[in-house]
Amino acid sequence: MKILEVKSLSIPEVKVIRFARFCDSRGYFSEHFRKSDLKNHPDTKDVFQRIEFLQMNESFSVPGVIRGLHFQWNPFMGKLVRTLSGHMIDIFLDIRKGSPNFGRAAMYDMPSERTKDYCEWIWVPPGFAHGNFFEAESAIEYLCSGEYSQGCEAGISPLAGDIDWALCDKDLKARFDKIASGGMIITDKDRNGFTLENWIKDGRSDNFTKEM
């Protein structure tokens, strides 16, 4: 895995890891994951020294789908996510009590561009609610640092009026709003998820703190 760049986003605990593709007239080859590289690279080792990936998921979405914003405890689950095909825009929301960014959400644009000589992962650590929306038929893959635990999950509605979007790229937020107001495809569970205010009142929210 040839790591080209690691950058922190507007909420710095969320990272984007750019890795190389080796392109020629046939197409490209990419080693998109190697545990030792993530654990030893100077810009990722502080994060991934203590992370083990225990589950891999793949999902497919049609245009106009909004998913999230999901999180889990017992065990906690961080996600390393990439776009396999199509166009995903990833969404992350800080739910760590005491964090200076608590209640703030942002987005990152992750189209699949097969002619480029790189691809990217986004790392959304435990303590964040995670989701995405899609502007084209899209397949994504994500590696999880915890196994799914039924009964130990919840979600903030991506439509909740008390999410703070001040750190979010304005163009990405406008694209989200366009889908949200124009026939979005979203489950009732996600649409009717917690508001931040109601989640804070729930005792389970105490699982998530800035010390995570």
The first and second tokens of residue 109, run together, are: 């644009």
Query: Considering only CA atoms, which of 165, 153, 168, 160 is closest in space to residue 194?
Result: 160
pTM to 2 decimal places:
0.94
Q: CB neighbours (10 Å) of residue 185?
A: 14
- Residue 42 in tokens: 């100077």
Determine, yes or no, domain membership for 86: yes
Catalytic residue of the set 41, 130, 142, 148:
142
Please indicate, yes or no, if residue 192 is contained in any of the structural domains: yes
**62 located within any domain:** yes
Cβ atoms of residues 107 and 169 within 8 Å: yes
- Residue 212 within a domain: no
Q: Number of C-alpha atoms within 13 angstroms, CB side, residue 74?
A: 9
* Confidence at residue 31, expressed as pLDDT on a 0 to 100 scale: 92
pLDDT at 160: 97
Please report, in tens digits, the pLDDT of each residue of the chain (212 residues total). 999 999 999 999 999 999 999 999 999 999 999 999 999 999 999 999 889 999 999 999 999 999 999 999 999 999 999 999 999 999 999 999 999 999 999 999 999 998 899 999 999 999 999 999 999 999 999 999 999 999 999 999 999 999 999 999 999 999 999 999 988 999 999 999 999 999 999 999 999 998 88
**Residue at 90 is within a domain:** yes
- Whether residue 168 is contained in a domain is answered as yes
Range of the domain at 75: 3-207
Look up the CATH number of the domain holding residue 65. 2.60.120.10
Q: Which letter, b or e, does each residue of 56-67 get, where b requires 16 or more Cβ atoms within 10 Å of its Cβ?
A: eeebebeebbbb
| Domain count for the chain | 1
In DSSP terms, 19 is beta-bridged to: 3, 119
pLDDT score, position 158: 98
Catalytic residue among 70, 87, 108, 130: 70
142 is catalytic: yes
Does 27 fall in a domain? yes
What is the structure's pLDDT at 149?
95
How far apart CA 155 and CA 129 sit, in angstroms, is 7
Among this protein's residues, is 87 annotated catalytic?
A: no
> How is residue 14 annotated by DSSP?
S
- What are residue 141's DSSP bridge partners? 58, 82
DSSP 39: H
